[in-house]
Amino acid sequence: MAARDAARRAGPARHPPDTAGKHYEEEEEEDALPDSDALPDSDEELDLEKPRPIQIVLAHEDDHNFELDETALEKILLQEHIKDLNIVVVSVAGAFRKGKSFLLDFMLRYMYNRTSPCWIGGNTEPLTGFTWRGGCERETTGIQVWSEVFVIDKPNGTKVAVLLMDTQGAFDSQSTIKDCATVFALSTMTSSVQVYNLSQNIQEDDLQHLQLFTEYGRLAMEEIYQKPFQTLMFLIRDWSYPYEHAYGLEGGKKFLEKRLQVKQNQHEELQNVRKHIHSCFSNLGCFLLPHPGLKVATNPNFDGRLNDIDEDFKNELRNLIPLLLAPENLVEKEISGSKVTCRDLVEYFKAYIKIYQGEELPHPKSMLQATAEANNLAAVAGAKDLYSKGMEQVCGGDKPYIAPSDLERKHQDFRESAVRQFRSVKKMGGEEFCRRYQEQLEVEIDEIYANFVKHNDGKNIFYAARTPATLFAVMFAMYITSGLTGFLGMNSIATLCNLMLGMALISFCTWAYVKYSGEFREVGTAIDQIAEAIWEQVLKPMSDNLMEDHMRQSVKNSIKAGLTEQVSHHARLKTD
């Protein structure tokens, strides 16, 4: 519990630039900070007089979405004395439980005591600032920044504002790939220096995740003609091979060059990953940091005291932190070649978070999910191709008209064959996942069948003649009706019938021109639809009724004739 209690205390108190690290211990009790779980959510509670971590991007675990706390961000960055200064944003990102917040607290010590050679602090001082703790469960969620923005004089005489940013660790048990990509992309897009915190080595999956996350960030940015991001610093923690590459920046530089080298005999996939990383960042660096020691790794009560940390780690830490935060090394935030002020950064945050809250961007997926989708889509495509080829043999372009009942029977046969083939292909993702793609296949096959039905109907000469026949029938009916009503003196009805006769004639001429020239196809389609509606709603029921009446009358006549013949036959028998 001592570690958690220490982590809940305040960050270092504000001291003049020449204050040594020993003052931390004297003023710790005065500047106690609240737990990060109880971060303020109103203007009245957001008291910037006491420096603390402030959550600006909130993670909603129920719907895996992110929300920007605009009030908190504006309260920090729109302070009168900094809002128009160019900003330097140093962010630390990477997998969860790898010591990102722990590292940021040493950055805080440096920022508060940067003019002192003893900025790293005394041996018995607990490490405070951004909340951190040992263990295997995550601590930081969303994105946090330190509430105090540091104003630094650069060697060229300009003043810049420095903001420290902590991010939710990637690949914990509660975050999706989209969550991890969103946090990493947001922090990379808004930072001038992104520290990519890795453990022990740079593995190929680390580079592939970096490629995915940066591409997700690049998609959200407007069209760019240069490298979209600025400085990426690979920080390799717990480096165990100093005999191959020495601790520090120089050893890291040689190691990174070797890792990111594009070779002729490399697989294309490996080459693309490396080319992508080089194309995304203006500057790439690497720092090799030793393990902090067994006490740090195994002591549950470790609270950041330097006397529990190995000397090699402390020595390299004294080199790493100034490399990132010394006035002469500060990298000002730029977007599209223009320097960004604190005021500008607020607007960029608002714009970027809206993009990630929307549905315009594709959702990143795990390698298993992406492979399973590709695998199932390939199986769907193969099954559809089998169905289409079978149907082409039955009613393709050069095949004659086939009866609708026979066509439907063939459709059912080929549909079952296609589904069987889909099921027979070995697929990833499990039964439930594959069932969704089988349902998609069945829907798409039904859509293809509907097109084959239309194509087959087009080969039926009577179907093709339905529109002109319907229009002729309408004209004939209107002509007869007009003549009869005119003869009976019903002139208004006769006039209406003549009008409909004229419209039917014009429609017929227009339809004939469309079919001949191929122009105004939409008009021809509309005439076909109207003619089909008249046929289905009026003429077909009338013809069916007439046929039914005719058949009924024919049956009656046949029965009468039969009965008459039988009576005549009996009469002849009696006479004989």
Q: What pLDDT band is residue 327 in, cutting at 50, 70 and 90?
A: very high
Q: Which residue has the higher pLDDT, 569 or 307?
A: 307
Rg (CA), the chain: 40
Return the pLDDT at 38: 40
Assess contact for 88 and 332: CB atoms under 8 A.
Answer: yes
Residue identified by tokens 């039988």 is 566
Return the pLDDT at 334: 87
Q: Mean per-residue pLDDT for 410-418? A: 91
Return the pLDDT at 251: 92
pLDDT per residue as tens digits for the range 473-496: 888 888 888 888 888 888 888 888
Return the pLDDT at 186: 84
Q: Mean per-residue pLDDT for 252-271? A: 86
Q: Kindly state the percentage of the chain with pLDDT values over 90.
A: 16
Assess contact for 36 and 54: CB atoms under 8 A.
Answer: no
Return the pLDDT at 564: 77
pLDDT per residue as tens digits for the range 440-475: 999 999 999 999 888 887 776 666 677 788 888 888
CA pair distance 421, 431, nearest whole angstrom: 15
Q: Mean per-residue pLDDT for 97-116? A: 83
Alpha-carbon distances, residue 261 vs 118, 207, 215, 467, 490 (angstroms)? 39, 12, 20, 70, 95
Q: Which residue has the higher pLDDT, 26 or 280?
A: 280
Q: What pLDDT band is residue 7 in, cutting at 50, 70 and 90?
A: very low
pLDDT higher than 70, residue 8:
no
Q: What pLDDT band is residue 416 in, cutting at 50, 70 and 90?
A: very high
pLDDT higher than 60, residue 438:
yes
For the ranges 102-106, 272-276, 459-463, the lowest mean pLDDT is seen at 459-463
DSSP secondary structure letter of residue 81: T
Closest among 468, 511, 150, 198 to 330, alpha carbons compared: 150
Q: What pLDDT band is residue 14 in, cutting at 50, 70 and 90?
A: very low
Highest mean pLDDT among 225-229, 345-349, 360-364, 383-387: 383-387
Q: What pLDDT band is residue 142 in, cutting at 50, 70 and 90?
A: confident
Residues 6+ apart with CB under 8 A from 308: 293, 295, 296, 299, 302
CA pair distance 89, 346, nearest whole angstrom: 12
Structure tokens at 499: 């009008």
Output the average pLDDT for the chain. 78
Q: What pLDDT band is residue 35 in, cutting at 50, 70 and 90?
A: very low
Return the pLDDT at 97: 58
Q: DSSP strand E in 105-192: where? A: 143-146, 150-153, 159-167
Closest among 344, 568, 153, 170 to 352, alpha carbons compared: 344
Q: What pLDDT band is residue 3 in, cutting at 50, 70 and 90?
A: very low
Per-residue HEC secondary structure of 412-435 comes to HHHHHHHHHHHHHCCCCCHHHHHH
Nearest-5° angle of CA 160, CA 166, CA 172? Answer: 160
pLDDT per residue as tens digits for the range 213-231: 777 666 656 555 577 888 9
pTM of the model: 0.60
Assess contact for 149 and 162: CB atoms under 8 A.
Answer: yes
Return the pLDDT at 225: 55
Return the pLDDT at 468: 81
Answer positive or negative: Cα dihedral of 350, 344, 14, 319.
Answer: positive
Return the pLDDT at 370: 60
CA pair distance 276, 259, nearest whole angstrom: 14
pLDDT per residue as tens digits for the range 45-73: 445 568 888 888 887 766 667 788 889 88
Nearest-5° angle of CA 408, CA 414, CA 420? Answer: 140
3-state DSSP assignment of residue 345: helix
Return the pLDDT at 456: 81
For the ranges 72-81, 520-529, 558-567, the lowest mean pLDDT is seen at 558-567
Closest among 345, 224, 231, 245 to 277, alpha carbons compared: 231
Structure tokens at 7: 């982590």
Instruction: Enumerate the H helices of 82-172 as residue ranges.
Output: 100-112
Return the pLDDT at 515: 74
pLDDT higher than 80, residue 543:
no
Assess contact for 434 and 427: CB atoms under 8 A.
Answer: yes
